[in-house]
Amino acid sequence: MEELPYWLALWRISGIGPSHFRLITDRYHSMIAFFSLSDAELASLGLNTRQRNQIRGFQRGSERALLEGVTQDLDWLEQSAQHHILTWASDDYPPLLREIQGSPPILFVRGDAGLLSLPQIAIVGSRHSSRQGQKIAQDFASCFSSNGFITTSGLALGIDASAHAGALLGGGKTIAVLAHGLDDIYPNRNRSLGKEIIEQGALVSEFPIGVSPRAEFFPRRNRIISGLSLGVLVVEAAIKSGSLITAHEAVDQGREVFAIPGSINDPLAKGCHALIRNGARLVETAQQVVDELMPLLGFMQQQAMPHAEENLLHDQYDSQSPEGLLLAALEYDPTPVDQLVGLTGLCVADISSALVMLEIDGVVQQQQGGYSRV
């Protein structure tokens, strides 16, 4: 919790996306230590003048807009036991999403955050869907629920809303990924559905509290929908449908893509037919999707295991103790002591003392060129 305000502050600084965030967290395992860097050190990370001034201003308490934004996020977190903020450093950050390129460093969640790590199937499609398409989405989601899968979508009008409703009607759970801050629910017509999802599932967003929806945010939202899921089902999509972005993201992420065919004269079938021509699996029943994805449940468990083992190791030490900071910084290749000074913000004397304790505990070893994990 001590590190969280610094994560939130960095995520609110314009121009710092997941790749830049990853560079920073890989090099500086303590966000507090990162915010204490000199201007020259910040510049060496490719941060521009405005970004460096915001970081140093936040540390000094003079960057008012950033301080107010972070306070807004933390106040929202404290408002309800159903409000959660997960970071890459959180034990319960969803393992499948963690593995994709460009995964969001921070997730805001309203509802049951634990659901994000359970097996999910995404259902996406046209906002201007037919009644038949809505019925298909609803029936498929209900079947997924009865087979133990969570249905994930984007709470948009049309197919998305039908998929969420179908999961709830089937007695299952559903997750809605949104393209704005979770202090609001958009679109307004799905506000009551969104409130139901909070009680029987979760709303998720990478966007801080108070951020309004914008057109360019929806493609970013789509990569999270596919990233959380084992597979993506497309139900009714025109040739330029936004749901095709989700399908293409799924392919890039190594997820299974399924599409339901339609009439050759139906504009809402054109996108699905294009996906099928390009390798998506043609499906006619929900059970076909379930049968394809069941074998992947073992893969999902494997993705979660390495991080779980790492967390058990970290739990032995306070994350802000010298031992905890060193353990977070060390890799399996040797790291020199002078480099550990920069990574942890500790002095050489504290590092030497802590390394002795970690060696005694059998979790690090001295090698030529420095220290490494065992």
User: What are the residue ranges spanned by the domains of the chain?
Assistant: 3-77, 111-304, 308-373
Tens of each residue's pLDDT in the chain, 374 residues: 799 999 999 999 999 999 989 999 988 889 999 999 999 999 998 899 999 999 999 999 999 999 999 999 999 999 999 999 999 999 999 999 999 999 999 999 999 999 999 999 999 999 999 999 999 999 999 999 999 999 999 999 999 999 999 999 999 999 999 999 999 999 999 999 999 999 999 999 999 999 999 999 999 999 999 999 999 999 999 998 889 999 999 999 999 999 999 999 999 999 999 999 999 999 999 999 999 998 887 656 555 545 544 544 455 667 678 888 888 788 767 888 888 887 888 888 788 878 877 877 778 888 877 888 77
Tokens of residue 136, six digits: 């298909």
Query: Could you tell me which CATH class the domain 308-373 is placed in?
Result: mainly alpha
Residue 349: the pLDDT is 78
**What whole-number distance in Å separates Cα of residue 348 and Cα of residue 109?**
40
Residue type, 110: R
**Matching fold, domains 111-304 and 308-373:** no
3-state secondary structure (DSSP) of residue 365: strand
Helices (H), the chain: 4-12, 18-27, 31-35, 39-43, 49-60, 64-79, 95-98, 131-146, 159-169, 191-200, 217-228, 243-252, 270-277, 286-293, 297-314, 322-329, 337-344, 348-360
Question: Whole-prediction pTM value?
Answer: 0.80
Q: Tell me what pLDDT residue 295 has.
A: 86
pLDDT value of position 374: 72
Could you tell me the two tokens for 281?
A: 């699996």
- Is the CATH number of domain 111-304 3.40.605.10? no
Instruction: Give me the pLDDT at residue 74, please.
Output: 98
Q: Please report the pLDDT score of residue 312 as a whole number.
A: 45
